[in-house]
């Protein structure tokens, strides 16, 4: 269960470091040329990217002991946590 905190925080920081003047800004410029349905899950949208990372991480880690409900919960919790991280980030910037 602690993995969802780790994965969602890593995904959040990766997207935030893609903002202009940050270390991964080049990556954002590179993927921004793609259609939205590809751009967003690759890092253009915080929730989409976090959802994708959580989805695939859970699937790979639990391939031998798969449970659909746990998979949906893990992905949803990751997205929810990234929204919370983003709110905290916004408050800290004010």
Residue 3 CB coordination number (10 Å): 13
Within 13 Å and on the Cβ side, how many CA atoms surround 41?
9
What mean pLDDT is predicted for residues 57-80?
Answer: 97
The separation between CA 7 and the C-alpha centre of its own chain, rounded to angstroms, equals 8
Query: Mean pLDDT across the stretch 8-31?
Result: 95
To the question of pTM greater than 0.75 for the whole model, the response is yes
Q: Determine what percent of the chain falls in helix, strand and coil, rounding each to the nearest 5.
A: 80, 0, 20
Cα 66 → chain centroid: 21
Average pLDDT of the residues of the chain: 96
Q: Please report the pLDDT score of residue 94 as a whole number.
A: 80
Q: How confident is the model at residue 84 (pLDDT cuts 50, 70, 90)?
A: very high
């Amino acid at each position: 269960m602690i993995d969802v905190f780790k994965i969602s925080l890593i995904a959040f920081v990766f997207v935030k470091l893609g903002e202009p003047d940050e270390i991964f800004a080049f990556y954002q410029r590179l993927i921004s040329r793609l259609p939205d349905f590809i751009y967003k899950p690759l890092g253009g949208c915080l929730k989409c990217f976090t959802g994708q990372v959580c989805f695939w991480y859970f699937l790979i880690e639990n391939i031998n002991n798969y449970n659909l409900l746990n998979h949906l919960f893990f992905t949803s919790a990751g997205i929810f946590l990234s929204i919370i991280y983003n709110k905290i980030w916004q408050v800290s910037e004010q």
